[in-house]
Chains A and B, each alone.
Chain A
Amino acid sequence: MKLTGAQIIVESLLAQGVDTIFGLPGGVVLPLYDALYGSKLKHILVRHEQGAVHMADGYSRATGRCGVALVTSGPGATNTVTGIATAYMDSIPMVVITGQVPANLIGNDAFQEADIVGITRPCTKHNYLVRDTKDLARTIKEAFYIATSGKPGPVLIDVPKDVLTKQAEFLYPESVHIRSYNPTVEGHIAQVKRAFEKIKASKKPVLYVGGGMILSNAADELFRFATGCHIPVTTTLMAMDSFPTRHELSLGMLGMHGTYAANMAMHEADVIIALGSRFDDRVTGNLAGFAPNADIIHVDIDPTSIGKNVAADIPVVGDLMDVMKKLNAMRAEDKTDWADAHREWLKTADEWKNLYPLRYDRSPEGKIKPQYVIQQAYELAKGMDPIFTTEVGQSQMWAAQFLTFEKPRTFLTSGGLGTMGYGLPAAIGAQAAFPNRLVVDIAGDGSIQMNIQELITAVQYGLNVKVAILNNGVLGMVHQWQELFFGKRYSASEFQVNPDFVKLAEAYGAVGLRATKESEVQDVLKEAYRTQKPVLMDFAVDREEKVFPMVPAGGTVKDILLA
């Protein structure tokens, strides 16, 4: 059957199992929007294309399926770049379809032309300019395959207007074969065995877990391995939800704002088992002083991540699901008395945990501490199967430190790029995937203003997200650095004015709530969670509060600031 390019895209997305896409139309994609009209694909109309991409990202992180965004050429396409880069840095599977000016005009500085393939080359896993309608279906199939396999990532497809309007025979390919792309999924058994033997011989092992554990859906296998072998677990920001926060083996987050126990354990470890983590500079600090005594086992699906920052003694390339299963199988056959083997080590780890737990002081005058809001945001959400998203800054770090996580895909945060403005649209994307779950964005007053326009999208579609703004009147994290490292010279970090967030919410047709005293916090949260509408909560928090512990950039655990 012959279809237009626009129809082929819609049919291909349906064949791919896509149910929801996020986007905003414009000139060259009108034929595609026309094909969407009345189709079974649900389209969420955003107010800014960056929002569409973050929504697709939130949808993807919450479900594990590939998010899809659709925008027009030129400014529509360039508006997606921050969202794409955010997804790229965190390896989030996503397909972004951009319109392009007609093929014969490309390169002519035509109206609303932008070389989006060129612009996004360094921040996509792969991208395409489709030149012929008959290539569309295969390109879409390839794009989904590339986005979701190996180390996942965003793939962009740029489609000129004439490719949308011309016709071609439609047949959605059943499978794809790309001869130059064959990611290694299965961990080499001999390497896994070496890793297992190394773990067996260790006295002070640590599991250092990153976002790859979430991406490969292997958290259950991690739990089995950690508890079976009695090995403490520390996670990166990207993997807070890969291991239950309240489990006795949990050391919490490591790195710059990680716990004392996690950073000490890394420093004292004799074997570090890096699982889907990449020794980012926010984790290692000064490489010269990082984990001086440890042999490194590094498991990752991406060979380029291994040995990039820290040399691996035992590299294992493969999908964590496969490798963890193999490790668990080896453990099941093995007779080691793990509890005995690691008793001393776990005792030491406990001492570190008890010596400097994450903490803050409640205010004697009843001022609201941001950490308190976050703790309550979780406590009152228990049983509602919550998903938390974050913006970026102090609020994000406190969320990582003071939320409690029970299961994967419940903490959606921009780790690699650190994108302010991520949390609200990501929450909307997650809510679109799970209309009946509670989705809460932990926000700062700076970040929330970066994509506040999407509140109306939430209202329009009845996606009843809750936003908890920890309003300190400053770009808090910047303020903190200026206080600690720039002699309190607060250059351009203090908002002289802020909007009235309650009125703002009301103007959008959402609900606005405010708390100015600690005693009001619970009531505001309860009311927000009960309300069947999007809610903005404005918590006037103590601006003096800082994120601790802190290993200053380029430092080691020896430089840790505890308060």
Chain B
Amino acid sequence: MRHTISILVENRFGVLTRVAGLFSGRGFNIESLTVAETQDPQVSRMTIVTRGEDRIIEQINKQLNKLIDVIKVTDVTAEEHVERELVLIKLNAEEKNRPEILRMTDIFRGKVVDVSARSYTVEITGSDSKIKAFLEMVRPLGIQEVARTGKVAISRGARTLAPKNK
């Protein structure tokens, strides 16, 4: 099963390598990984999407916790949460395609962020299924390039992942 794991880490060099190395060194798979600073510049947040049986996921969680620079690990899959990903899609923009691109972009509440004689670049934000659906719809028009950010996730409601002040 697919799991989305949120991790707070110390914002230090080498931390990303430690986390990535933990996955590669144990043969765990990473589907996507994002990392950036949080509201506290000393703390970064990673979101990792991975797949595996419960036993593997439990090991991943424990192993992540074992890393000295990891402050907190939460598997958000089990709780109410919001997941989003941003995708930039460069599409063939011949005359006849343009209205269809604009229509699709509108339906999916995307934006055209760059235009040239031969291409339109569209920005779409959403859940996995929305992005998948959009890509399906525009595929016949000719996709030139896709860049995805990978997923970010956050719990619904008042719950936070913020580090406890121990």
B26 nearest CB neighbor, chain A only? A122
A308 nearest CB neighbor, chain B only? B59
Is A180 in contact with B21, judged by CB distance below 8 angstroms?
Answer: no
B116 contacts chain A at the CB level, 8 A cutoff: no
B68: contacting residue among A180, A302, A304, CB under 8 A = A180
Bitwise interface map of B from 105 to 123 toward A, beta carbon under 8 Å scored 1, else 0: 0000000000000000000
B91 contacts chain A at the CB level, 8 A cutoff: no
Is B62 in contact with A303, judged by CB distance below 8 angstroms?
Answer: yes
Q: Which residues of chain B are near A307, meaning CB under 8 Å? A: 55, 58-59
Bitwise interface map of B from 58 to 72 toward A, beta carbon under 8 Å scored 1, else 0: 110011011011110
Q: How far is the CB of A327 from chain B (nearest CB, A)?
A: 24
Is A125 in contact with B17, judged by CB distance below 8 angstroms?
Answer: no
A307 to B58, CA, bound (A): 9
Bitwise interface map of A from 90 to 129 toward B, beta carbon under 8 Å scored 1, else 0: 0000000000000000000000000001100110011001
Q: Which residues of chain A are near B71, meaning CB under 8 Å? A: 179-180
Is A180 in contact with B70, judged by CB distance below 8 angstroms?
Answer: yes
A311 to B65, CA, bound (A): 19
- How many cross-chain pairs have Cβ atoms below 8 Å apart between A and B? 38
A496 contacts chain B at the CB level, 8 A cutoff: no
A126 to B17, CA, bound (A): 13
A181 to B71, CA, bound (A): 8
Q: Which residues of chain B are near A563, meaning CB under 8 Å? A: none
Is A121 in contact with B59, judged by CB distance below 8 angstroms?
Answer: no
* Given A182-B166, A303-B62, A304-B59, residue A121 in contact with residue B17 (CB < 8 A): yes
A284 to B166, CA, bound (A): 40
Q: How far is the CB of B121 from chain A (nearest CB, A)?
A: 35
Within 8 A of A (CB), among B129-146: none
Q: Which residues of chain A are near B13, meaning CB under 8 Å? A: 129
Q: Which residues of chain B are near A182, meaning CB under 8 Å? A: 166
B27 contacts chain A at the CB level, 8 A cutoff: no
A178 contacts chain B at the CB level, 8 A cutoff: yes
Is A121 in contact with B65, judged by CB distance below 8 angstroms?
Answer: no
Q: Which residues of chain B are near A121, meaning CB under 8 Å? A: 14, 17-18, 21
Q: How far is the CB of A301 from chain B (nearest CB, A)?
A: 11
A302 nearest CB neighbor, chain B only? B66
A346 contacts chain B at the CB level, 8 A cutoff: no
A52 contacts chain B at the CB level, 8 A cutoff: no
Within 8 A of B (CB), among A488-518: none
A126: contacting residue among B55, B58, B68, B166, CB under 8 A = B68
Q: How far is the CB of B49 from chain A (nearest CB, A)?
A: 21
B163 contacts chain A at the CB level, 8 A cutoff: yes
Is B21 in contact with A122, judged by CB distance below 8 angstroms?
Answer: yes
B166: contacting residue among A179, A302, A308, CB under 8 A = A179
A122 to B20, CA, bound (A): 11
Bitwise interface map of A from 116 to 154 toward B, beta carbon under 8 Å scored 1, else 0: 011001100110010000000000000000100000000
Q: Which residues of chain A are near B55, meaning CB under 8 Å? A: 307, 311
Within 8 A of A (CB), among B5-31: 9-10, 13-14, 17-18, 21, 25
* Given A117-B14, A121-B18, residue A181 in contact with residue B68 (CB < 8 A): yes
Is B10 in contact with A180, judged by CB distance below 8 angstroms?
Answer: yes
Is B166 in contact with A146, judged by CB distance below 8 angstroms?
Answer: no
B70 nearest CB neighbor, chain A only? A180
A304 to B26, CA, bound (A): 13
Residue among A122, A179, A182, A311 with max Cβ neighbours from chain B (10 Å): A179
Is A180 in contact with B62, judged by CB distance below 8 angstroms?
Answer: no
A413 to B13, CA, bound (A): 35
* Given A121-B21, A122-B21, A179-B163, residue A304 in contact with residue B63 (CB < 8 A): yes
A129 to B13, CA, bound (A): 10
Q: Which residues of chain B are near A181, meaning CB under 8 Å? A: 68
Q: Which residues of chain A are near B14, meaning CB under 8 Å? A: 117, 121, 129
B69 nearest CB neighbor, chain A only? A180
Q: How far is the CB of B112 from chain A (nearest CB, A)?
A: 41
Q: Which residues of chain A are near B70, meaning CB under 8 Å? A: 180
A126 to B21, CA, bound (A): 13
A83 to B54, CA, bound (A): 35
Q: Which residues of chain B are near A146, meaning CB under 8 Å? A: 68
Is A304 in contact with B18, judged by CB distance below 8 angstroms?
Answer: no
Within 8 A of A (CB), among B68-99: 68-71
Q: How far is the CB of A155 from chain B (nearest CB, A)?
A: 9
Q: How far is the CB of B52 from chain A (nearest CB, A)?
A: 14
Q: Which residues of chain A are near B65, meaning CB under 8 Å? A: 303
Bitwise interface map of A from 169 to 192 toward B, beta carbon under 8 Å scored 1, else 0: 000000000111110000000000
Residue among A181, A307, A311 with max Cβ neighbours from chain B (10 Å): A181
Residue among B9, B58, B163 with max Cβ neighbours from chain A (10 Å): B58
A117 to B66, CA, bound (A): 18
Q: Which residues of chain A are near B58, meaning CB under 8 Å? A: 307
A155 nearest CB neighbor, chain B only? B68
A118: contacting residue among B17, B25, B59, B163, CB under 8 A = B17
A122: contacting residue among B10, B25, B69, CB under 8 A = B25
Within 8 A of A (CB), among B23-59: 25, 55, 58-59
Q: How far is the CB of A424 from chain B (nearest CB, A)?
A: 30
B17 nearest CB neighbor, chain A only? A121
A245 to B66, CA, bound (A): 35
A305 nearest CB neighbor, chain B only? B62
Q: How far is the CB of B82 from chain A (nearest CB, A)?
A: 26
Q: How far is the CB of A93 from chain B (nearest CB, A)?
A: 14
Q: How far is the CB of B24 from chain A (nearest CB, A)?
A: 9
| Chain B residues proximal to chain A, CB less than 8 Å | 9-10, 13-14, 17-18, 21, 25, 55, 58-59, 62-63, 65-66, 68-71, 163, 166
15 more A-B contacts (CB under 8 A) besides A121-B21, A303-B66?
A: A121-B14, A122-B25, A125-B68, A126-B68, A129-B13, A178-B68, A179-B71, A179-B163, A180-B9, A180-B10, A180-B69, A181-B68, A303-B65, A304-B59, A304-B66
List 30 contacting pairs A-B, 8 Å CB cutoff, sorted by A: A118-B17, A121-B14, A121-B17, A121-B18, A121-B21, A122-B25, A125-B68, A126-B68, A129-B13, A146-B68, A178-B68, A179-B163, A179-B166, A180-B9, A180-B10, A180-B68, A180-B69, A180-B70, A181-B68, A302-B66, A303-B62, A303-B65, A303-B66, A304-B59, A304-B62, A304-B66, A307-B55, A307-B58, A307-B59, A308-B59
| Chain A residues proximal to chain B, CB less than 8 Å | 117-118, 121-122, 125-126, 129, 146, 178-182, 302-304, 307-308, 311
